[in-house]
Amino acid sequence: MNKKFSFILLVLFLGLITSVAGGYPVSAETEGIPVSDINVHEKGSVTVHAVQNPSNSTVIPDISGNGTQQKLNDTEYANVGSGIKFSLMKISRSDAYKLGWSPSNKMKGQNLDIAKVDAYVNNVRDKVEETTDGNGEVTFDQTNFAPLGKLDTANPEANLFLIVQIGDLPAGVTSRPAPIIVNVPSQNPDYVKGNQNYYLYDVHLYPKFEQDTTEVYFKKVDEKGQALPGVEFVLRRNEPTGRGTDYLSESPAGNGPWVTNGELNFVSKSQENSPISKPYVFITGNDGMIRIQGLTQGHYRVEEKQNQSSENKNTFLPNKKVIDFTIDDNDLKNNVKKDILNGGTFINYDKPKIAKTIQKNSSHRDEIVKFTLEPTIPGDIQNYGKYIVKDTLDSRLNFVSTSKVITIKGTDIKLAEGTDFILTEGNALVWKFTDKGLANLAKAYKQGARKLVIPFNAHLNGTSKADEVVPNQGHLEYKNDYDQDGDVTTNEVYDVYGGVKFEKSDRHDSSVKLGGAKFIVSNRVDGVTKYLDVDDQGGWTWVDAKDRERAKVFVTDAQGRFDIIGLDFSKKIRIENNKDTLIPIEDGQTVNNYALEEVEAPKGYAKLAAPLEFKVTPGFETNKILIIENAKEAEIPLTGSVTSNLLIIVGIILLSTGFIIYKRSKKI
């Protein structure tokens, strides 16, 4: 084989050598390209352009690593800036082989043995170290490394150089780019037949400083510690100059987060309404967990979007207290999954609620009845700036009283009016809790309290009709530090009274109506009889039997009629059909035992001999009128029940007959 042919083969062989920057090849195909002699007057150089991902992305697109200078888009690539150190040295072909290099390397990465490379670099004396400038660039040439100014033209295979990154890494990067063995000069990928620039003497390398990634997680629970599924979150990438400016985007296919080259893709907030981009939503599973993978170094923010579960929407307030967290070098180096709450949980607290109860849902007019408001204490009450309980009474109700101190059951805490809450009394009741009161509620919550009990007293004032249901509701107004506010209402409670109609008539002729008859009303409850008294202002009270003379006297009019409206029902009632229908509890206990006592009969008529018992039932307008019959004074007085003259006459005859028989028997 002659020398000229051998030299051609050697040059072709060198043309196959690849120079890879950060995992990208610096090579070109050599088939069909004529070989030209190396220009002995050219001097070589290696320029390193160190790149990393831009601030709004974790992705660095591939770079065509063929040794030529590339024009990079600054929206896809960012330079690492100054201060990143590289070292360059010559390396023999045999040593290159020992490091794992092969002249056929053309693919991404040369797969050099890093440990052997480090050992080799430590033992090399003839090398040069330079740091990147503000553009993230450093150039090695004859001015800082003599071998690049005296390329071996007689033995081209000797022009191999090893480039490694040493020293500190850019922020967010925990591993060096792969070391590179490059041939200078290298084959010019832009060579065309007839062009004498067969060799590329100025080689450009683009090592990529790819940020490492890690995983974070947290758990979403309710205030009882139970996992909450179906809660939605978005992830923002925060920048020091504007936190929360970018968000993790959903993939164009809509099947997960947008991942490019294995890394999450964050999109500028200005693109939030783009038709091809929208925030990716993380949703808690049945275990309440959120796991976010592929995060590089940086500042992040997790924001709760909404409660997806319909049950959660009606029960829990979205917690707008965002989670800010940082991924630093240690997180990436250790590659440990990070609990961004440090063992804690992301709690959704119950929405504040309020309930209401009433001592009884029917009563006498002016009978004092106890109403009770029961607002819940949110688990994050310490984050509330507004917590106000209200109750505006219907005009048919009159406020009576409420306590100036609220005792919280199960705790040693008592809330005092004036310090813990500001009380407004009257038919528009208000309990406005102060900062001190809210702090005490937070303390009570820690002691196990979950609701307040706020009682007050009121009564029906007599302006409503019989059987007319009077509803009542309370309210709870709140606002927390997350700018979440609300006005929740209680269930409705009802109070009502009934009435009864009476008519006085002649016993023998019902068409004769008896006016001027006077009656009082008694009621026996638990064996104790009391009488209805009405004061000059129309207020009702029930007095003891010893004060019977104070009882209100009802007088029949010219039509023999009088009504009593404001009496409680004889039996307990329940209210159904949207408060339109009153239904007595048929098997319920009789709670009120009423009776009419006639204290003065119409002229010429005898009083009732005994009280007349009656019942008050729903249906005042439709119930039958209770008829009271009076006998004239010449007749045997009527008792409190309907009697028959026939029965009385038969009784007299039987008594007379018995007496006659008795007398005759005495004579025998």
DSSP codes joined into one string, 341-381: TTT--EEEPBPP-EEEEES-S---TT--EEEEEEEB--TTG
Nearest partner of 178 among 130, 98, 95, 114, judged by Cα: 114
- Amino acid symbol at 550: R
Alpha carbon 264 to its chain's center: 27
Averaged pLDDT, groups of 10, the chain, 668 residues long: 41 34 33 51 90 68 79 80 94 92 62 92 94 94 89 80 92 80 83 66 88 84 89 80 69 78 67 64 91 84 75 74 82 77 83 95 95 95 96 97 91 93 97 97 94 96 93 95 90 95 95 96 96 92 96 97 96 79 73 96 94 94 93 63 49 66 58
CATH of span 214-348 = 2.60.40.10
Give Cβ neighbours of residue 17 (< 8 Å, ≥ 6 apart). 27, 103, 105, 160, 182, 183, 186
Show the 3-state SS of 292-349: EEEECCEEEEEEEEEECCHHHHHHECCCCCCEEEEECHHHHHHCCCEECCCCCCEEEC
Sheet of 137-140: strands edge to edge?
A: 137-140, 45-49, 202-205
Q: What is the pLDDT of residue 46?
A: 95
The residue ranges of every structural domain in the chain are 3-205, 214-348, 354-495, 498-645
CA atoms within 13 Å, Cβ hemisphere of 306: 6
CB 454 within 8 A of CB 423: no
Q: What is the pLDDT of residue 534?
A: 93
Q: What is the pLDDT of residue 547?
A: 95
Superfamily of domain 3-205: Immunoglobulins (2.60.40.10)
Q: What is the pLDDT of residue 59?
A: 63
Assign residue 619 a region: left if phi > 0, alpha if psi is -120 to 50, beta otherwise?
Answer: left
CATH of span 498-645 = 2.60.40.10
Assign residue 374 a region: left if phi > 0, alpha if psi is -120 to 50, beta otherwise?
Answer: beta
What would the DSSP string read from start to end of 600-634?
A: EPPTTBPPPSS-EEE---S-TTTSPPEEEEE-BTT
Torsions phi, psi of 429, nearest 5?
-80, 140
Nearest partner of 325 among 228, 229, 236, judged by Cα: 236
C-alpha to C-alpha distance for 431 and 384, rounded to whole angstroms? 15
Give Cβ neighbours of residue 623 (< 8 Å, ≥ 6 apart). 500, 501, 617
Q: What is the pLDDT of residue 338?
A: 83
C-alpha to C-alpha distance for 643 and 629, rounded to whole angstroms? 10
Read off the tokens for 85: 């150190």
Q: What is the pLDDT of residue 411?
A: 86
User: Is-same-fold flag (214-348; 354-495)?
Assistant: yes
Alpha carbon 343 to its chain's center: 20
Residues 637-656: b if buried by 16+ CB within 10 A, e if exposed: bbebeebeeeeeeeeeeeee
CATH of the domain spanning 354-495, picked from 2.60.40.740, 3.20.20.70, 3.90.550.10, 1.10.287.1080: 2.60.40.740
- Our CA angle for 216, 218, 222, nearest 5°, is 170
Torsions phi, psi of 657, nearest 5?
-60, -45
Q: What is the pLDDT of residue 150?
A: 86
C-alpha to C-alpha distance for 631 and 608, rounded to whole angstroms? 9
CB 292 within 8 A of CB 298: no
Residue that has been written with the tokens 């309930």 in this structure: 355
C-alpha to C-alpha distance for 305 and 286, rounded to whole angstroms? 18
Query: Helix (H, G, I), strand (E, B), or coil: what is residue 400?
Result: strand
CB 495 within 8 A of CB 363: yes
pTM: 0.66
Write the DSSP symbol of residue 591.
-
What would the DSSP string read from start to end of 442-489?
A: HHHHHTT--B--EEEEEEE-S-SPTT--EEE-EEEEEEETTS-EEEEE
Give Cβ neighbours of residue 39 (< 8 Å, ≥ 6 apart). 153, 199, 201
- DSSP H or E run through 526: none
Q: Considering just the CA atoms, what is the radius of gyration of the chain in Å? A: 49
Query: Helix (H, G, I), strand (E, B), or coil: what is residue 9?
Result: helix
- Our CA angle for 370, 374, 379, nearest 5°, is 165
